[in-house]
Structures are given as structure tokens and as C-alpha cells.
Amino acid sequence: MESESRRPGSEATANNGHDGKDHVSPNSSATQEHMRDAVKQFECIPVEMRNYRQWVCWRKVERQNKKPTKVPYKPDGTGKAHVNKPEHWATFDEAVAAFKAGGFDGIGFVFTDNDPFTGIDLDDVHGDAEALATQMRIDAAFNSYAERSPSGYGLHIIVKGKATRSKRRGKVEVYSSGRYFTMTGDVYRDAPIIDCQGLLDVLVAQLGGTALETLPQPSQGPSVGDAGACPDVKTVEHLRSALAYLDADPHGEWVDVGHALKTIGEAGRELWLEWSKGSAKFNPLEAEQTWASFKPDRTSYKAVFTKAQARGWTNPGFTPDFPLVDSSKITAELQALIKPKQRTQWTADELWDANFPPIEWIVPTLLAPGLTLLVGAPKLGKSWLALDLANSVAHGGFALNLHCPQGDVLYAALEDTPRRLNDRLQRICTTKPGASLCIWTEMPTLDHGGIEALRNWITSAPNPRLIVIDVLSLIRPAKGKGEDAYVYDCRTAKPLKALADEFGLAVVVVHHTRKAEADDVLERTSGTNGLTGTADTTLVLSRNTNGAVLAGRGRDVEELELALDFNRDTCRWESLGRPADVCRSDERAAILEAVAGASGPLSPQEIAFVTGQSSGNIRRLLGKMVMAGELRKEGRGKYAHPYTPGNNGNKVTNEGSLFS
């Protein structure tokens, strides 16, 4: 990942191989939109770093026949900054103000002996599997605050502790003083800056030439994916030691630890139950049922070590190992985590012959992986439907008469209070919801950490399937002054679609309809085609004189219309079928009931007598119902149900009739 941790003084004054002048990129003056987004991200930088007066600004500088570099500048605009001259630095607020004023590409932090911090820079590996394996080990070991570099391909980990000397080897750099890091606030791991002195000592030693060529020994336990494998006695002892640093009372922590320990089978179960007994809330039956529900596939027992380390625990038997050589030692597990580049170019014959997996429906025929807009007028019942979908997927139950494969669900109910959500859960759930349904009542806007918050939930959930956000207006980024409405709508929806596509799950965003009517119900979505065009599916909940209708259209979802009814006893929407089948007037329903119960075709007078309606109204409706296929005309002036048993072509016979 890219390196900005350079020694600024020398390169800022002279560049070997060209005229000695800085060739500043024409894009070095950031756009107003970029500035607003960046300034919001800067607020995510840990406060304890922002409190130091060790901040500079920087500009990207192009160099002939060399990789571009990032030159530090004094925030007061009087020239280049040097990492050994404190008078060139400024406060965090001063650096941000200088960036906002224009002329700089970002801000940076200077590491010195007077602060407790060390920066670990993991540079872009450009597809090098060996380098990626090393970086993944380092990232997993240092469970401290980390953010993405300006390009988005680099990673900066900030820890407490001091390296005995600055080190750089391959795509890994470690600096405690005499360097600066570009800082973005584009959070990769939202964690406190923790003391990692012991880990730093090991890493610096290995960067300095002690290149261990072996992977961690089996005594450290199974790797991710070795579900059910039994670790040795020493590892179990270390897990028990780590659990002593964790609290079993918080439900989320209790479940997370359970998922992690489930990966080592019966040994993990015994450890989890033993640890759970330390909670005043411990219920043996509930614990056994909860353990049985765990289906971890994105975690391992090592997550317990990570959690305990953040609370001050040190594994007495764990020696970090960051192999920097011998690519043959890379395991299949690490290779599987190297995400292949998605293919974007095909011949027609190749596509014809290609085999793609079937769609993994979240809700069959209704919700496919991707971005879905759930649109409706205020107070129509969108939130009840959204909660029902979320709860049904979390349980593996039924929604709108459709069975939902079970998975973890995040429901961001941003317009509701915890009290209201408690009431709604009590109404729609027949049993306790369980840990698979996670509920938020607040989240950042998409341009201020919202996407990162969603990403963190996805990567921590055992089996993420569905995210529901209610409502779009509370997560939208700020609209730029003079920004085109279509462009703004696209900018809002694209990050959500990209997230859904990346992880193969469904993201449902609740939105409102516009006041203006439209012939096509799907055109009633508030906003421009930038929203509906970016989304994979649009579902519109509406109400007419015949009742509620859910209409939908999408890339993978065939056009649909479902007549719905809200059951006030269960507070759930129920599907009644096609509107044409159920949205009839009471008069028509009475006529159908009359002819269906008769032993043969009826005349208009007979139908009027049975239904109690006027013969004039009956005659008017009969013609329309025949045209619509709801009735069949028999001979002269007789009418029958279109599906009367015993019908043989156009001839009506009572032989074998259920009504004879």
C-alpha cells in the first residue's frame, strides 16, 4: 500500500534526475467537494493525535520517470516543512484551515520522540501474494487504529510504543520519529490507539533482517475455517486466560465470543459456558440454545485474543511471526483471501459458455443481492414492512408468504426510538428475536463514516445477508452548492450499491414517494432517475380504492404486483396474491359467490335475487365481468363461474359437478 512516510527535507529541496523544481500536479488544488468530504473525514482522526502541535500540509508532486511524491508544507503557506523543525508545524485546526483555504492536497502528522506514537505503513503490494500475506499478518496482530492512505490502496496503522530505529523493508515501513504520515481520517479500523511495544520490538527485529521463514506453529490453534478442530491444551489455557479480561454481561460481546469459540467445537463450548457463568444473567437453557444457533464462517477463536489484547491482556505463549520471505509458505487460506480482479471483458461465445452460480435470493423473487429502494408515502406502513423483512431473514422465517434463507441482518431504524422499536418487536415477534438481528437507531451519513460503519458490521457478522436503512434522508451526504440533482442522487446511491455488490448481500433503503402523480407507480419515487437508475430494484408500496399494492421492478427481479393486507393483530403485511384476483368490489365478489354456489348457470334476475342487488346494477356488472374473464356467459342470458367443474368446451353439464 502506498508510502508517504518519507524523509521530507531532502526530497523537498532537490530531486535527482530532473531540474530540481517541484512539478506540482494540476489537480493539487482540491475541488470544493473533495475538500468538504476530506474535512469531515479529518474529524475521525483520533483526538489524542489531534492534540499535538505536530501537523503539516502536503502537496502531490510529479517527478520525471519516478513515482509521485508527497511534499510537506508549512500550513502558514510560507514554504516547505521539515520534520526536524517544530517551528514549521502547526496545530491540527490550523492545518485543516490551511487545507480548506486551498492549494494543498491534504494534512499530515510528524512523528517525534516527544509523542507516544509509531506509524506502520503498509504500501500497495500490486498483486504480490507474498507481500500481501505479510501485511495481513501485521494487520491482524496490531489491533489498533488504522486508516486508508490518500489513494485508498495503502494502510496506516497508528500504535503506541517506540521502534528502536526506523525500518523499511519491502512494502512495510515503521517510523517513530523523523518522518511524517499523510493522515486522511478514512477509517479502516475504528479502534483506540493501543500500546503495542512488544509487537513493535518483534516486527522491527524481523524487518532488520531476522526473517523467520515459518508460519505460526500448530500450538497457536487452528486457522480460520478449521471449524471443529480441537486446539492443544496450551492454547485452551491461553483462551481461558484471555476470557478473564472479557465481560460476559453485554449481550453483543457474549454472542461475538460464542461465535469465535464455536470454530473449535466442543472445547470452545466448554470454555464459553464456563465464561458465561460469570454473568448474573446466565441461563443454562438459553446458553445452550444460543450456542446451537451459532454458524460462524467469518471468524476464528483468535478473535478472543484480539478482544482481550485491546483490554490489556498479553498472550504468554504467542510470538508474532511476520515472514518476509519464502512464498511457498503462504497457506491456501491466505491465497483465498486475495480477491481476484473481476473480469470485465468477454467475447459473446465466452459468455455463452460461462457458468454462473444461481442468484442467492434474500427473499425469493422479491429481494436479490444489490441495492433496493423501498418507496412509499409517509405513514403508509413502510417501516412495518422493513422491520418484518429484517426479522424474517434473521430468523429464516416467512415474509409476505415467502420463505427467507436465514442470515445476519442489520436494521438501521433511524427515525425510531428504542422504546418504539421495543414495542414493535413485541408485536411482530412470537419469540425473542435473537442475536442475528442487529438494530441501530443512529449512524453517520454516508460521506462521514457511514459506509465504513456498514462495512465494519458486514466483516464482523458471521453470515451477513441483509442491511435495511430507514430512512434515506438521514444518511444522505450534504448536497453541494449548485450540484445537479441527478448527479447528487447518483452520488448518494452508488456507494451503497458498490457495498452490496462487493459482499453479495442486499441493501434495502426506505425512501418516500413524490407528491406528483404518475401513470407508472414505479415513477413515483421522490428524486431523479439517478436514484432508481443506480438501484438494482425499486419496490413501491401504495394504496388505492381496492387496498394496498406492492409493485416492483429490477435487474434480477421480474416486474411484480402484490395485493397486500395489514394484519392489525400481528402487525405484519400479508400477501393476498395478484391485485386482479383480489382487488374487486364487494358487488363483484357477491356475484362470484352466487354463481359459484349454484348448481348451474344463473340469469341476471336470479343473481339479483341471491345477492340482494338491483337487477339494473347486476346487468351492468355482468357484461364487464364477462369481458374481464371473471364470468362465463352460457347460452342466452345465463352466466356461470369460469371454473365451474364439468365444463366441457362451451357446453355446460352438471355431470360430476360439485354443485349438483
In this predicted model, what pLDDT tens digit does every residue of 43-90 receive, in sequence order? 899 999 999 999 999 998 887 767 788 999 999 999 999 998 999 999
Place of cell 345477492: 611
pLDDT bracket for residue 303 (50, 70, 90) = confident
- Which region among 27-41, 197-211, 318-332, 622-636 has the lowest average model confidence (pLDDT)? 318-332
- Which region among 7-16, 22-31, 537-546 has the lowest average model confidence (pLDDT)? 7-16
pLDDT digits (tens, 9 = 90+) for 489-533: 999 999 999 999 989 999 999 999 887 777 777 788 888 999 999
pLDDT for the residue numbered 199:
83
Collapsing DSSP to helix, strand or coil, 469 comes out as strand
pLDDT for the residue numbered 281:
85
State the Cα–Cα distance between residues 60 and 58, nearest whole angstrom: 7
| Integer angstrom CA distances of residue 188 from 41, 144, 153, 159 | 12, 10, 11, 14
Alpha helix segments (H runs only) across 523-632: 529-534, 579-582, 586-596, 604-611, 615-627
- What is the average per-residue pLDDT within 224-247? 73
pLDDT bracket for residue 34 (50, 70, 90) = low
In contact, 208 and 277? CB cutoff 8 Å: no
Check whether domain 586-640 has CATH 1.10.10.10, yes or no: yes
Alpha helix segments (H runs only) across 225-283: 233-243, 251-262, 266-276
pLDDT for the residue numbered 32:
65
CA 284 to centroid of chain Cα atoms: 33
20: left (phi over 0), alpha (psi -120 to 50) or beta: left
Alpha helix segments (H runs only) across 144-212: 197-207
- Is the pLDDT confidence value at 468 over 90? yes
- What is the average per-residue pLDDT within 250-279? 88
Percent of the chain with pLDDT over 70: 82
CA 234 to centroid of chain Cα atoms: 37
- Is the pLDDT confidence value at 595 over 70? yes
Alpha helix segments (H runs only) across 461-514: 485-503
Place of cell 526536524: 84
Exposed / middle / buried, residue 220 (Cβ in 10 Å: 0-12, 13-18, 19+) = buried
As a CATH number, domain 370-582 is 3.40.50.300
- Which region among 45-49, 286-290, 386-390 has the lowest average model confidence (pLDDT)? 286-290
pLDDT bracket for residue 405 (50, 70, 90) = very high
- What is the average per-residue pLDDT within 429-445? 91
- Which region among 25-29, 135-139, 150-154, 259-263 has the lowest average model confidence (pLDDT)? 25-29
Q: For the chain, give every residue range classified as CATH 3.40.50.300.
A: 370-582
State the Cα–Cα distance between residues 558 and 608, nearest whole angstrom: 41
pLDDT for the residue numbered 213:
29
State the Cα–Cα distance between residues 560 and 640, nearest whole angstrom: 30
Angle at 205 between CA 199 and CA 208, to 5 degrees: 140
In contact, 604 and 631? CB cutoff 8 Å: no
Percent of the chain with pLDDT over 90: 38
- Is the pLDDT confidence value at 424 over 90? yes
- What is the average per-residue pLDDT within 38-47? 88
pLDDT for the residue numbered 170:
77
State the Cα–Cα distance between residues 98 and 107, nearest whole angstrom: 9
- What is the average per-residue pLDDT within 166-172? 80
- Is the pLDDT confidence value at 171 over 60? yes
pLDDT for the residue numbered 598:
86
Of residues 251 and 27, the one with the higher pLDDT is 251
Alpha helix segments (H runs only) across 311-381: 332-336, 348-353
- What is the average per-residue pLDDT within 429-444? 91
- Is the pLDDT confidence value at 148 over 80? yes
Give the pTM. 0.46
The identity of residue 538, as a single letter, is T
- Is the pLDDT confidence value at 212 over 90? no
pLDDT bracket for residue 331 (50, 70, 90) = very low
pLDDT for the residue numbered 588:
79
- Which region among 90-94, 170-174, 287-291, 653-657 has the lowest average model confidence (pLDDT)? 653-657
Cell for 224? 480460520
Cell for 220? 497457536
In contact, 186 and 148? CB cutoff 8 Å: yes
Q: What are phi and psi of 68, to 5 degrees?
A: -55, 150
Q: For the chain, give every residue range classified as CATH 1.10.10.10.
A: 586-640
pLDDT for the residue numbered 577:
81
pLDDT for the residue numbered 82:
92
- What is the average per-residue pLDDT within 461-482? 93
- Is the pLDDT confidence value at 226 over 50? no
- Is the pLDDT confidence value at 29 over 50? no
- Is the pLDDT confidence value at 196 over 50? yes
527: left (phi over 0), alpha (psi -120 to 50) or beta: left
pLDDT for the residue numbered 320:
53
- Which region among 80-84, 90-94, 219-223, 244-248 has the lowest average model confidence (pLDDT)? 219-223
Range among 132-141, 219-228, 308-317 with highest mean pLDDT value: 132-141
pLDDT for the residue numbered 57:
96
In contact, 130 and 174? CB cutoff 8 Å: no
pLDDT for the residue numbered 322:
55
pLDDT bracket for residue 297 (50, 70, 90) = low
State the Cα–Cα distance between residues 309 and 317, nearest whole angstrom: 13
In contact, 538 and 522? CB cutoff 8 Å: yes
pLDDT for the residue numbered 644:
53
Quote helix, strand, coil % in the chain, to nearest 5: 35, 20, 45
- Which region among 17-21, 128-132, 305-309, 630-634 has the lowest average model confidence (pLDDT)? 17-21
State the Cα–Cα distance between residues 392 and 397, nearest whole angstrom: 5
Of residues 657 and 35, the one with the higher pLDDT is 35
Of residues 25 and 460, the one with the higher pLDDT is 460
pLDDT for the residue numbered 392:
94
